[in-house]
Amino acid sequence: MSDLIAAEDVLLFVNAAVTATGQREFRATAEEQRLSLDFLHAYVRVNYRPLYAAALALDINDHNAALIAEQLLRTPHEAGPGEGRLIAARLAAMPPQRVYRLFRTLRAAGVNNRRTRAIVRDWLTARPDLAHDAVKYRPGLRAAVRHAHLPFPDAPETGDFLFAPRRRARYEHRTLEAYRKAHHEHGAQSALYELPFTVAEGLAAKHGVPRAVFLERIAPRMTRLERLRTRPAEAGTDLSVMPLTRLALYVLSLPFGERRERRAELTGALRAAARRVAGPHAGSWGRVAAVLDDSFSASGSAVKRRRPLAVALGCHFLLEALAAPGGYSAHWTSGARDPLLVRPWGATPLGERIIDALERAPERLVIVSDGWDNAPPGLAGEVLRVWRTRLDPLRRTSVVHVNPVYDADVFDVRRLAPGVPTTGIRDAEDLSALVEIARFAEGREGLAALRAYLDRRVELFLAAHSGEAGA
């Protein structure tokens, strides 16, 4: 029993680490989210530290990965073997702005032990171009260098740029010199277009460059996502290589009229993204039925607009790709038939849609919902209980509930029924891996099996990042 409780505690934390970002949700404030997460991190770190560290190898979001790294580095006296390698490998896989933010947090907290300095040093050493970072992430890089007491013997120009910018009249490095010209020389606006977009954008506003002119000239320097964010109408050529959930968010941001006009293009891009995610598992899941939540709560919050609905839309196309040909059926809570035109509205009749889905006797039933079953309340849980205990005790149909919304009040994602495994989900791309780990939530496998699973994930994760992290 103690092993099962421990396994439940760890899975509860994994659900939170996948879904919660400390931001406002539809039913919870940002402060409630942060307080709930802080408690969970402290509880799991103190009681299950090796498993807490192993979560870095799972598909948790970057917000929680940074929190785990921070908590582990704050408490070096409790450290276990291999933690440094795990932290370094995870930092190597994170966006640089997240890592620089973590380093600034550690500096503000006075965390400056030997392991922290080594991880900061090795991560900075592995950066492909510190001069580029000095321009784009200047405060973060400066704070990291000061905190870890790092010299710049191989990059004196970068050191001068950060700490003594008036020492040099010009720089040999192209990016540093472009920044100096754009920032200090009158009439040197052409230098703007040699800088990273996020840096050039602020300088262009400072110099009064018309927005349309700036966007046209900076376009070659912009990333695919920057082009999509600033000029969505011209980003169609990029859709074929966009990540599935981000593509779903983009589609949902378009007016209905544009979705109809671009139906073939948008549907083709979504299906291509789903096939890339499915990979060799495409068509291997047999008959699949999905219950997808497009109720009003799927609108998310001001900082996570339509995120739950985008996850449901991405899962729809991924499940279609994973199912056997002709073996997929989708059941939106609103009764919608056209996935491209879904919108968040109405109540959440999950129970009725689950009945519709089970009538087809699928091999797998996947429910994508925040778990607020309210039309009528509790029907979904009762339907699943009767199905599992009376109609399908041999478990011919596997049922899993994936929930994109963290519930701060219960320190977990909201569940539909005790006998149905529930796991958190942040991106539709993680669906396959999350369905795998959801089996531990059924209570039939204890801590030993969970430890073995996490050990395998850690081994694979470290092998994949062995060339990027040597801490």
> What are the tens digits of pLDDT across the range 180-196?
888 876 656 788 899 99
Identity of the residue numbered 235: A
pLDDT at 280 over 80: yes
Residue 455 burial class via C-beta count within 10 angstroms: exposed 0-12, middle 13-18, buried 19 and up: middle
Instruction: For residues 116-121, give the mean pLDDT.
Output: 94
Please report which confidence band the pLDDT of residue 220 belongs to, taking 50, 70 and 90 as the band edges: confident
Position 464 scores a pLDDT of: 86
Domain ranges of the chain: 2-210, 244-444
Instruction: For residues 241-247, give the mean pLDDT.
Output: 90
> What are the tens digits of pLDDT across the range 199-208?
998 888 888 8
Mean pLDDT in the chain?
Answer: 89
Position 39 scores a pLDDT of: 95
Position 236 scores a pLDDT of: 45
Residue 47 and residue 55: Cα distance in Å, rounded? 14
Share of the chain above pLDDT 90, in %: 64
> What are the tens digits of pLDDT across the range 49-103?
999 999 999 989 999 999 999 999 999 999 988 999 999 999 999 999 999 999 9
Instruction: For residues 316-330, give the mean pLDDT.
Output: 97
Backbone torsion region of residue 102, taken as left when φ is above 0, otherwise alpha when ψ lies between -120 and 50, otherwise beta: alpha
pLDDT at 285 over 90: yes
Please report which confidence band the pLDDT of residue 140 belongs to, taking 50, 70 and 90 as the band edges: very high
Instruction: For residues 419-442, give the mean pLDDT.
Output: 86
State the architecture of 244-444 in CATH terms.
3-Layer(aba) Sandwich (3.40)
Position 469 scores a pLDDT of: 45
Q: Which of 64-78, 211-225, 365-379 has the lowest mean pLDDT?
A: 211-225
Q: Which residues of 391-430 are buried (b: 16+ CB within 10 A; e: fewer)?
A: eeeeeebbbbbbbbbbbbeebbbbbbbeebbbbbbbbbbb
